Structure 1
Amino acid sequence: MFYQALIYIYNSAIFLSSKFGNEKAKKWIDGRKNWRHNIEKLPKNSTLFHCASLGEFDQAVPVIQAWRKKFPNEKILVSFFSPSGMEHYHKRGIQLDGVCYLPMDTNRNMQDFLELAAPLRIFLIKYEFWPNFIKEAYSRNIPVFSLATLLRPNQLYFKWYGTFFRKSIRKVTHFFTQHEETNTLLKSIDCDQFTLVGDTRFDTVISRKSQRIPDEKLANFLKNRRALILGSAWEKETEILASCLEKLQHETIIIAPHQVNTTSISRLKRQFPDAICYSEENLDSRKNVLILDTIGQLANAYAHGSLAFVGGGYHGSLHNILEPAVYGLPICFGPKHLKFPEASTFLDHNFAREIKTGEDLVNFINEMKNQSEDVSSGIQTFIEQRQGATEKILAFFS
């Protein structure tokens, strides 16, 4: 009952937020209107992959592709919790048979959702463990698998007051985990149905690299110059860059904002008045700062870059550092990255630096002028050695 009350409070908070101008909350509410009617149109007897947002979808992508190849007659359905997934999943170019929002995790909603969707099996990505969703699937004998499972000691499942949530995840049929710490945590709550496979995102970035279409416009602008790429940059990253820009007058910088919209592009133009935008017909190669004001150019920017300053590390929402790493770029990011174990791994291997000030950024750039070749080689070897998670997961279903 307490959990049910929390869910209703959460839903009410989002609804109120949507009424006071929160665009994301409004999309969240609007996207779930008439959800039962929408799901009735989707194919039944599918394999359902549930993702919180676009980042989790990226972890599911290589498994979805491999599943489609191995079981070509099965339908694939994807559900999202966040609007970011619904709005941008199509950019990955993945063939899906249906896409929908997951409704709020109430008993009635999940009974109706599973009755209407009737999936054959469910994959939950990373740590999307909705108790009523799992309970209803369990009661219908629908196997539930956790893909790219990543758990931390501070989560509810491992607290003295987390009994309700522990009971829920014990109903998961099998966990495909990312690292040993997650295995240890699962054992601590009497869950031993797991297989260590690693992070599927290594497979994703390697595949994307092999399929990348070169960007001649970007190449002509750079003319083989070294470039620092600010990938998915939030305001804090651009503020740090602006604070030390005078010391980087001879550096070429490409900025890809976290959100590509009129507001963010206007702010960047104020911060960097001499910058030019990618959408301009002719890019002046004499300029040192380029703003990517169109969607879809970041991967190409990383491919042409020399260093990467990855966004989200000042808000606990670090963007995927494997995207620049697959091209061998030394990486830096903000200090709030505890939820992202790959960040700590990169720091431990000397592939990355933590940046708190503009001075830190300048030091990182200068340091890498002499070390980048060795670091780059080490990063690419590291990435290649960790591919194969998808193959291990599919082997389980042989």
Structure 2
Amino acid sequence: MDYLFLTILIWPIFFLYTVKIAIRDKSLRYLLQRLGHAYPQQSEGHIWIHCASVGEVNTLMPLLHKLLEQFPESRFVITTNTTTGAQTVARHNPERTQHCYLPVESFFSINRFLYAWQVQQCLIMETEIWPLLYSCCARQHIEITLINARLSHRTLTAGKWLKKQYRESFKKVNRILCKSEQELNNFKTLGATNEQLYVCGNLKFTIADKSAHTPPVNLSNRTYCVAASTHDDEERQLSQLWQKLNSEDLLVIVPRHPERSEKIQKQLNKLDIHYAVRSKQDNISHNTDIYLADTLGELTSFIAAAKIVFMGGSLIPHGGQNLLEAAREGRAIVCGPHMFNFKDEVELLLEHRGCIQIKDLDTLEHVFNDLLKHPEQRKKMGENARAALEQQANILNQYLSQLNQLI
């Protein structure tokens, strides 16, 4: 089936989904800009950088500040897929930079976006592959560069038809700046050429502006551990484990998708465990075992004072979540066996003894017990994790060297 025909066929789904998110997030701007409208009038060209959501925006910021320094006449527009991504751009508030929502995958919306912002260059963080978007850029002679490029497990194991679309899309990309040698080889399996590919390192390792971090939250003076960015069924497993530990510390669960809060609460009710819910503004008492932090944008604040941070998405075959935020904060980090989407990050921290990767829940129980009893071990792990990131100082220069040739 032709990709263009498919996008036309499923256009009603694109539209309804966009309306649903706009209503949920109460954002008319989200609805209009995703559909190709309501772009502010521009008198100058812009360098366009696309970041899917919060994590990609945060990863971009050190590089963007360097680009702003090196190109004082240039203006930038950052697109995101989510309203939380938009809020993150607003919080950082970089100079000469505006935010816009990424247009949906249609010629009408994409071309209106490119025309409105007078796009000169397209930089895409982390690799989002949108064949129509890539085609529109190529037709208007807008060079595309993938930065901090990686391919997810899902992309690499996609079916033949999808892989064909990826190969065709990569033909329209000028440079692919990979985060590791392994990722470079992954791109080669999907048809990228040696002339396109460069290894510059993982930009996530460069985020080290401690002054920009928000202060830790106060949970009624309770000490606590954090289960960060958890996914379906992990909350139940971790809560049962916490019951077995019978710890005086609180377990703060921060689900990756807060809209799952009601489902998680039903699971907790079945466990007969004392819990409080942040969105309900529940009070935390000395009897509270679990604190369900079902809100957005507060994960860093919870991580900042946690004794231990367990990374979600790793007890189930989801592929894990980014553990570098906890490393920057100097926390003791534990993750499960399924971290295949963050293989490089885990390997770096394991190599520097800044992380423990467990194989199952029984091992996790033992590790939690051990770390809770030995604060010096937790402190050393956190110091090792932070030091591992500080040793990656040259990565920004690698990216700047490549981008200087383009902008």
Aligned length in residues: 389
CA gap of 1:259–1:136, structure 2 versus 1, over 3 A, is: closer
Paired amino acid for 2:366: N
1:221 Cα deviation (Å)?
A: 0.8
TM-score, reference length from structure 2: 0.79
The answer for the alignment partner of 2:181 in structure 1 is 180
- 294-303 vs 25-34, which deviates more? 25-34
User: Measured at CA, do residues 192 and 74 of structure 1 come closer, stay the same or move farther in structure 2, by a change above 3 Å?
Assistant: same
Q: What is the match of residue 395 of structure 1?
A: 401
Q: Deviations over 1:121-173 (max 9, x none)?
A: 11011111322222222232222111110136874799865444323213222
Distance 1:91 1:374 in 2: 32
Deviation at 1:186, TM superposition (A): 3.9
1:238 paired residue number: 235
The match for 2:357 is: 353
Residues in 2 aligned to 1:95 and 1:329: alpha-carbon distance in whole angstroms = 32
CA distance in 2, matches of 1:29, 1:304: 33
Is residue 50–residue 125 contact of structure 1 (8 Å, CA) maintained in 2? yes
SS at 1:232's partner residue? strand
The CA distance in 2 between the partners of 1:288 and 1:151, in whole Å, is 38
Match of 1:33 in 2: 32
Q: Give secondary structure in 2 for the equivalent of 1:37.
A: coil
Question: What is the aligned partner in structure 2 of residue 320 from structure 1?
Answer: 322
Pick the aligned partner of 2:205 from 202, 207, 213.
Answer: 202
Partner of 1:364: 367
Counterpart selection for 1:258 from 240, 256, 259? 256
- State the shift of 1:303 in Å: 2.2
Q: Distance in 2 between matches of 1:284 and 1:158?
A: 48
**1:104-115 alignment to 2 at 5 Å?**
104-115=104-115
Cα 1:214/1:37, change in 2 over 3 Å: closer
Q: CA deviation at 1:26?
A: 6.8
Identity value in percent = 20
Comparing 91-100 with 144-153, greater Cα deviation is found at 91-100
Q: What is the distance in 1 between the residues matched to 2:95 and 2:265?
A: 35
Aligned to 1:98, the other structure's residue is in SS state strand
**Aligned residue number for residue 303 of structure 1:** 304
2:255–2:293: 8 Å Cα contact kept in structure 1?
yes
Which 10-residue stretch deviates more, 150-159 or 229-238?
Answer: 150-159
Secondary structure at 1:36's aligned position in 2? coil
**How many angstroms apart in 2 are the aligned matches of 1:337 and 1:183?**
19
Shift of 1:267: 5.1
Secondary structure in structure 2 of the residue aligned to 1:52: coil
Conserved in 2, the CA contact under 8 Å of 1:47 and 1:75? yes
Corresponding residue SS for 1:124: strand
Confirm or deny: 8 A CA contact 2:216 2:303 kept in the other structure.
no
Q: Does 1:385 align with 2:391?
A: yes
Give 5+ residue unaligned stretches, structure 1.
Answer: none
Work out the CA distance in 1 between the residues paired with 2:169 and 2:178. Answer: 17
Contact 2:253–2:293 at 8 Å: present in 1 too? yes
Is the CA contact 2:4–2:132 (under 8 Å) kept in the aligned structure 1?
Answer: no
Counterpart CA distance in 1 for 2:51 and 2:26 is 14
2:32 maps to a residue whose letter is: K
- C-alpha distance 128-39 of structure 1, shift in aligned 2 (>3 A): same
In the aligned structure 1, how far is the partner of 2:301 from the partner of 2:272? Answer: 22
What TM-score results when the alignment is normalised by the length of structure 1? 0.81
- CA shift in 2, pair 1:138/1:272, >3 Å: farther
Supply the distance in 2 between the matched residues of 1:243 and 1:346 (Cα, whole angstroms).
Answer: 30
In the other structure, the counterpart of 1:341 is 343
Which residue pairs with 1:375 in the alignment?
Answer: 381
1:95-131 deviations in whole A, cap 9, x for unaligned?
A: 5643222223334443333222211211011111322
The Cα of 1:315 is off from its aligned counterpart by: 6.1
Q: Residue 226 of structure 2: which of 225, 229, 254 is its match?
A: 229
Contact in 2 for aligned 1:18/1:26 (Cα 8 Å)? no
> Bigger CA drift: 373-382 or 141-150?
373-382
Aligned to 2:125: 125
Cα contact 2:235–2:264 (8 A) shared by 1: no
Counterpart CA distance in 2 for 1:24 and 1:268 is 29
Q: Letter of the aligned partner of 1:353 in structure 2? A: Q
- Offset at 1:233? 3.0
For the residue of structure 1 that corresponds to 2:301, the secondary structure is helix
Asked if structure 2 preserves the Cα contact closer than 8 Å seen for 1:346 and 1:352, the reply is no
For structure 2, which runs of at least 5 residues remain unmatched after alignment?
A: none
Q: Distance in 1 between matches of 2:180 and 2:77?
A: 27
Q: Structure 1's 268 and 297: CA in aligned 2 closer, same or farther, altered over 3 A?
A: farther
